[in-house]
Amino acid sequence: MFNIENNQLLALVDAAKDGFSKAYAPYSNFHVGAAALTVTGNIVKGCNVENASYGLTVCAERNCLAQGVISGEKAFSAIVIYTNQEKLTPPCGACRQVIVEFLAPQALVMAVNHNNDRKQWTVNELLPDAFTPKDLLEK
């Protein structure tokens, strides 16, 4: 299902932890880091950035993928989300939709916490029957 080498997965987790350390979350104190592996083998990372107007907060996963797009990447093979919560944290609904835009249905999405607990899904498991670019192209 996932064609990710162990050393790549470890590097993704480390990058997600680094993103976590840079999160700007003064209101919720809910820090999140994310890292994605591009299909070309590069790693991009992001963190959540809160705003006093809560609706303008941007999640780590969306910042991570946007960082990849800014770098010229538009296809990713995996994304890791890191928090220090006891309960593993899956992506929110908005992030799931953005993940569907850039990762294949069988791509890896993994949540990791400070205890190194892990849970993984495919993109399709997180958002089955998703609305995708394909839906816009097929009439």
Q: What is d(CA 11, CA 94) in angstroms, rounded to the nearest whole number? A: 25
Strand order in the sheet with 118-122: 43-47, 33-38, 76-83, 103-113, 118-122
81-120 burial: b if 16+ Cβ within 10 Å, else e: bbbeeeebbbbeeebbbbbbebbeeebbbbbbbeeeeeeb
Name the residue type at position 34. Answer: A
* Residue 61 among the catalytic residues: yes
Pick the catalytic residue from 5, 50, 61, 101.
Answer: 61
Residues recognised as catalytic: 61
